[in-house]
């Protein structure tokens, strides 16, 4: 607790791995992640029994699976958080290559589970969504390319990262999965901005994205249906958005009480995409604000620690991972309150889903590894020395 208040001491070379990890890790962020996972299990107990009964399963079937996959995610998180930045980069390159191949083969071997988008591989006992594992690997690989381009005589890393981004976005749009495509594009844009991109170029890219959105609306029935539903002034109370909106309204400030919510009996995705509606109905605005605060603490603390980082790769990769984590949470909650079109995106560490949990564990493990305290001069000190020369 002392380190959480006063900061971690400087690392001593030759320390054992576990003591060094404990002294250098961001304990506040780690505790917030564990709290989110605990809240996810609590909300799973409230939201998943109706779906289990509908499918003829034991009442806590989905909660048990969430606990199992969540345990795997936490093991992955702790293991990855002990890595050095070089090891994180190597893991990301290997993971990205495997996930990219899996993503490219989805049109041949994938399934849509009746949801209109081919995003998963089904193995009977479980399913895997490659795009979830692609995101953290992509962010680190793109940051590596950009950082290499900042070196004197280095390759045109920003151009290579842009080409890679366009290829991935195209594959995701073909599923179609415009939510993940937007998240990948946003992550790249944030890193590109931190790497020193001119504002005029970013504005131009924003215009291109808008043009692609108009084109997708005219060419994709799946995309157009979701946009039309979002823009419609009236919400059909029999749709998922209608049920979620009503549940949030009914919850009020303190909620209707534990186990008293009704939206879980109507929403087929109450335990995944719309789990925040269950939280709002049964536990009220207080619970929702607590969840938002936990996400905010993780993102803000990570960015504050990265501001002191002098390694451009660590700074770029950490920024991309932190922003992707926070924006995914914002998108999920924004959809539930009808601030954004339906995206089919989970709430990190809270929603049910094996791929989402394990990939999220790897992503935050990378973030914790990159934001660990390391023996180095702060970037402000380095800049001051350069000015004084």
Task: Considering only residues 349 and 265, tell me which one the structure prediction assigns the higher pLDDT.
Answer: 349
Q: What is the mean pLDDT of residues 359-364?
A: 96
Structure tokens at 37: 């996972």
Q: Is the pLDDT of residue 388 over 90?
A: no
The C-alpha atoms of residue 78 and residue 362 are separated, in whole angstroms, by 9
Q: State the pLDDT at residue 1.
A: 47
User: What whole-number percentage of the chain has pLDDT above 70?
Assistant: 87
DSSP class of residue 10? P
150-172 residue pLDDT tens: 887 788 888 999 999 999 998 98
Q: Is the pLDDT of residue 8 over 60?
A: no
Q: State the pLDDT at residue 218.
A: 76
| The most confident of 26-40, 111-125, 182-196, 266-280, by mean pLDDT | 26-40
289-347 residue pLDDT tens: 999 999 999 999 999 999 988 899 999 999 999 999 999 999 999 888 878 877 778 89
The C-alpha atoms of residue 298 and residue 32 are separated, in whole angstroms, by 7
Q: What is the mean pLDDT of residues 235-255?
A: 77
Q: What is the mean pLDDT of residues 252-274?
A: 80
Q: Where are the domains of the chain?
A: 1-25+373-389, 26-371
**Cβ proximity of 374 and 208 under 8 Å:** no
Q: Is the pLDDT of residue 378 over 60?
A: no
The C-alpha atoms of residue 187 and residue 181 are separated, in whole angstroms, by 10
Q: Is the pLDDT of residue 145 over 90?
A: yes
65-93 residue pLDDT tens: 999 999 999 999 999 999 999 999 999 99
**Cβ proximity of 373 and 304 under 8 Å:** no
The C-alpha atoms of residue 278 and residue 269 are separated, in whole angstroms, by 10
């Amino acid at each position: 607790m002392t380190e959480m208040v006063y900061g971690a001491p400087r690392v001593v070379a030759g320390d054992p791995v576990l003591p060094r990890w404990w002294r250098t890790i961001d304990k506040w962020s780690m505790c917030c992640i564990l709290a989110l996972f605990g809240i996810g299990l609590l909300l799973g107990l409230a939201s998943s029994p109706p779906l289990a009964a509908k499918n003829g399963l034991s009442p806590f079937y989905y909660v048990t699976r969430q606990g199992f996959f969540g345990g795997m995610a936490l093991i992955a998180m702790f293991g990855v958080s002990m890595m050095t930045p070089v090891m994180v980069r190597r893991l990301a390159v290997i993971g990205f290559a495997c996930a990219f191949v899996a993503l490219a083969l989805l049109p041949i071997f994938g399934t849509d589970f009746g949801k209109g988008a081919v995003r998963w591989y089904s193995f009977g006992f479980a399913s895997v969504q490659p795009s979830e594992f692609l995101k953290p690997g992509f962010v680190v690989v793109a940051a590596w390319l950009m950082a290499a381009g900042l070196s004197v005589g280095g390759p045109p890393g920003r151009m290579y990262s842009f080409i890679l981004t366009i290829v991935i976005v195209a594959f995701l749009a073909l599923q179609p999965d415009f939510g993940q495509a937007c998240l990948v594009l946003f992550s790249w844009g944030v890193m590109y901005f931190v790497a020193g991109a001119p504002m005029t170029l970013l504005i131009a890219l924003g215009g291109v994205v808008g043009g692609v959105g108009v084109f997708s609306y005219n060419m994709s029935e799946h995309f157009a249906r979701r946009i039309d539903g979002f823009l419609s002034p009236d919400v059909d109370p029999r749709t998922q958005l209608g049920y979620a909106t009503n549940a949030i309204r009914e919850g009020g400030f303190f909620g209707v009480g534990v186990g008293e919510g009704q939206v879980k009996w109507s929403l087929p995705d109450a335990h995944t995409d719309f789990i925040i509606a269950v939280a709002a109905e049964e536990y009220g605005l207080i619970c929702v604000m607590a969840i938002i605060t936990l996400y905010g603490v993780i993102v803000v603390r990570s960015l504050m620690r990265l501001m002191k980082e002098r390694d451009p790769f660590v700074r770029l990769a950490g920024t991309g991972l932190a922003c992707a984590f926070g924006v995914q949470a914002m998108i999920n909650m924004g959809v539930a309150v009808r601030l954004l079109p339906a995206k089919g995106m989970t709430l990190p560490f809270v929603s049910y889903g094996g791929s989402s949990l394990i990939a999220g564990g790897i992503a935050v493990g990378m973030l914790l590894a990159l934001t660990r305290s390391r023996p180095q001069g702060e970037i402000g000190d380095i800049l001051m020395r350069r000015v004084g020369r």
